[in-house]
Amino acid sequence: MIKMILFRKFRVLILMVFLVACTMHIMIDLLPKLEKRAAGADSGDGGCQCAHHPAGEAQGWGKQRARSAAEAGWPNKHTLRILQDFSNEPSSNLTSHSLEKNTAAGERAESFGRMRPSAGKAEDHKPLIGDASGGRTVPAHGASGLSALFEHPLYKIDLPTLTDDDTLFNVNTDIRFYPRTTGNQGWHNDDGNEEEEVFSPTGEVTAESYPNWLRFHIGINRYELYSRHSPVLDALLKDLVIQRITSVAMKSGGTQLKLIMTFQNYGQALFKPMKQTREQETPPDFFYFSDFERHNAEIAAFHLDRILDFRRVPPVAGRLVNMTREIRDVTRDKKLWRTFFISPANNVCFYGECSYYCSTEHALCGKPDQIEGSLAAFLPDLNLAKRKTWRNPWRRSYHKRKKAEWEVDPDYCDEVKQTPPYDRGTRLLDIMDMTIFDFLMGNMDRHHYETFEKFGNDTFIIHLDNGRGFGKHSHDELSILVPLSQCCRVRQSTYLRLQLLAKEEYQLSSLMEESLLRDRLSPILIQPHLLAMDRRLRLVLQVLAGCIEKEGYTSVVEEDLEGDSATHRSPGHR
């Protein structure tokens, strides 16, 4: 009998503990809402965004987490962010696994439908929004080497006349956006002052007042991501640095942590945080697939791509980010938020979730809460501008012992030339451009590439995911050049620009150094990396010279220039 009584009391005790736990759980869920209401009633500081100090993090952690969506500026499903996506992996068509989920396809089409011209009206079919592609920026007093380069005839070659089939989006200049439908009337205002409206008298925003990220999207065509002298590019780079960050979420996929950042104007960018200093060279025993991604490599790759006149890397800028105010306090990604902690050195740290390098041993720590990173502008959303992912024919095996077929078969390129899409058009020449680009950076991680589906096989390769470049300056990985040495094919325009950049007055390292000085995190590359590019450029020209000597100039160099620009050949081949 006594045992029975004790057993019943034990069951009652267990039930009471369970009820108390449930009550506490409910109270914890309700506490943020109660604090939010109390803060809204008591606050009179206008939403001060003062700097947070790590020493006081423990006391205010839960309270800061409870900030409302309106204060954080988290965009709703009707915002312009549906026009964007960033892709750098075969599975990268997916956005964040937690919070950056896409809206329904019908909502996307309805939102973007406002930009489409009305069917059946001839007067509605007007040219694209101009991005000053025909004009040029005026060089500053005492013209720089970079300005002189862009004034060279090789950098003034006009594109073919663009048709509707050659532009990613067909937008009329008289189409209007209605910002009020986005839930934030100040979406276009860089200063964040929603009361200071700059709408037209009709309350609409003209096409010229589109946010810079949208103007960048509209300017994409079959031949380039952006034009040589587009004023939108510099404006977009500035936005990446100064726009207020309103939300942050982890990007799904990949071996290392990447964050999706949304700005006040609903632009989005991919943030890669600093993991290694500029002086840290990749150890010689490291496999190419086990190295850390470098934020400064992403920045330098964009500038190199522009100097080579490829213009196939989305705009990238460096930014110093406050980990507390600009990441932790604005994220709704619980998985990310839970990985924040204060280190023994009293610095703010986090590590997120990813396939390999996301743990306390690989935590990202600020000093005390400031961290460098690269911000790469998103490309248009996949539902509006589909992209096709292609396996790189010269993809590495990603195995410690096995070699890829191209590494053991000297006639491998002949097989590639007989395989679509490399058997016609310019795709093989695009691969050669990408090979040269990767070799100058020392990037061995080009496993896939992407193209815009609308343009079919007759378009450029998008140079995405360049974080594993610029890891070694004391070593030249000649295996990267195998596609070029096997195929012995190159564009005439590419070949002539490489020769130009090898000259003293247009030295590649000097031009890169000058271009990188424009970034907020300058210096981006240390001097040994800059000098390594000059050395690698000479090696590229040596490989091409050997091909020309063996097979002849016309068999190696594919003519793609007309008129005066085509006469700028090397002295031995005129």
- Known catalytic residues are 445
Q: Is 379 annotated as a binding residue?
A: yes
Dihedral angle over CA of 211, 212, 218, 221, nearest 10: -170
Place of tokens 């100064």: 242
Helix (H, G, I), strand (E, B), or coil: what is residue 161?
A: coil
Burial 113-146 (b: 16+ CB within 10 A, else e): eebebeeeeeeeeeebbbbebeeeeeeeeeeeeb
225 is in an annotated binding site: no
Q: How far apart are CA 302 and CA 64, in angstroms?
A: 36
**CA separation for the pair 368, 53 (Å, rounded):** 8
Cβ-count burial of 211 within 10 angstroms (0-12 exposed, 13-18 middle, 19+ buried)?
buried
377 has binding-site annotation: yes
The tokens for 69 are: 């969506």
Give the chain's count of helices (H) and strands (E).
17, 14
Measure the CA–CA gap between 184 and 264, rounded to whole angstroms.
9
203-to-172, 183, 185, 303 alpha-carbon distances in Å? 19, 15, 10, 39
CA nearest to 217, candidates 205, 203, 230: 230
Residue 264: which of 109, 520, 33, 49 has the closest Cα? 49
Alpha carbon distance, N-terminus to C-terminus of the chain: 110
Q: Judge whether 376 is annotated as a binding position.
A: yes
Residues contacting 6, CB < 8 A, separation 6+ = none
Residues 6+ apart with CB under 8 A from 24: none
| Cβ-contact 241, 212 below 8 angstroms | no
Token pair belonging to 515: 């271009």
465 is in an annotated binding site: yes
Burial of 112: CB neighbours in 10 Å, binned 0-12, 13-18, 19+: middle
Please state the φ and ψ torsions of residue 234, each to the nearest 5 degrees.
-65, -35
378 known member of a binding site: yes
Whole-angstrom CA distances from 142 to 139, 148, 150 are 8, 10, 15
Does the annotation place 84 within a ligand binding site? no
Q: Are 458 and 425 in contact (CB under 8 A)?
A: yes
HSE toward the beta carbon, residue 476, CA cutoff 13 A: 17
Euclidean distance between CA atoms 39 and 248, whole angstroms: 23
Q: Is 59 annotated as a binding residue?
A: no
Other CB atoms within 10 Å distance of the CB of residue 241: 14
Query: Which residues sit in the known binding site for ATP?
Result: 256, 272, 293, 376-379, 450, 465
Query: Which residues sit in the known binding site?
Result: 256, 272, 293, 376-379, 450, 465
Query: Which residues sit in the known binding site for Mn(2+)?
Result: 293, 465
